[in-house]
Amino acid sequence: MATGMLHSHYLFVVLFTLIYLIKTILLLSDRDELLEKFKKKTKVLEIIVSFGFLATGVFLMFQMPHIPTLMYVKIGLVVLSIPLAVVGYKKKNKVLATLSFFLIVVSFGIAQKVKKEKAGGTILAMSGKEIFEEKCTLCHGGDGKLGMSGSKDLSVTQLDHAGIVTIVTVGKNTMASYKSTLSAEQIEAVASYIETDIKGK
């Protein structure tokens, strides 16, 4: 669900930026007539795209376990760019319009940076399956049955969700604790993956 949302958010952002890029180019190159035509043609599309962009953005924000400071900067820039764009394109003020476009692009860059910083930290960046494949298959194998270095067969584990979360968080014997390498959300995700895709299979 969250991944689908993320993809729609990207799609909306790309469309939104594209519309603005074209508008900015037309404005800067004094193609007033074309700009008016383009504005008319894309009016409805723009409303849909802007709404989708904001709605998916807000939805995703509420999915985040904690909102990084940079995210606020990003939202601030997007919010600031809207009145600038409205005034800029209406009054055909090149400076304001360009500034507005620039803010959108910068906030795009910030979003990428937030994503990179959180690469080790968010449910959106990595699914339970991906975490399992990267961190756990060495000992447990892709199907949980490998049993390397005395590890338990996860397909027959008697542990419930909370039990799995505890073992992964604090570790047990040769299995290290993942408290410092995985976030609480990632541990939740990997535990859910074991429950749905490995246990009893």
Q: Which residues of this protein are in contact with ligand HEC, per CB under 6 A?
A: 135-136, 138-140, 149-152, 154, 157-159, 164, 167-168, 172-175, 178, 190
CA angle 172, 176, 178 (to 5 degrees): 110
Q: Angle at CA 123, nearest 5°, toward 104 and 193?
A: 150
Least Å distance, CB 116 to ligand HEC, is 22
Q: How far apart are CA 23 and CA 181, in angstroms?
A: 45
Closest approach of ligand HEC to the CB of residue 198, in Å: 9
Least distance between ligand HEC and beta carbon 123 (Å): 15
Smaller CB separation from ligand HEC, 49 or 194: 194
Q: Pick the closer one to ligand HEC by CB: 98 or 166.
A: 166
- Name which of 39 and 145 has its Cβ closer to ligand HEC: 145
Spatial contact of 63 and 123, defined as CB atoms under 8 Å apart: yes
Q: CB 194 → ligand HEC: shortest distance, Å?
A: 6
Cβ-based nearer residue to ligand HEC, 109 or 120: 120
Which one, 115 or 161, has the nearer CB to ligand HEC? 161
Dist. CA 119–CA 80, nearest whole Å: 27
Residue 69 or 158: the one with the smaller Cβ distance to ligand HEC is: 158
Q: How far is the CB of 22 from ligand HEC (least distance, A)?
A: 46
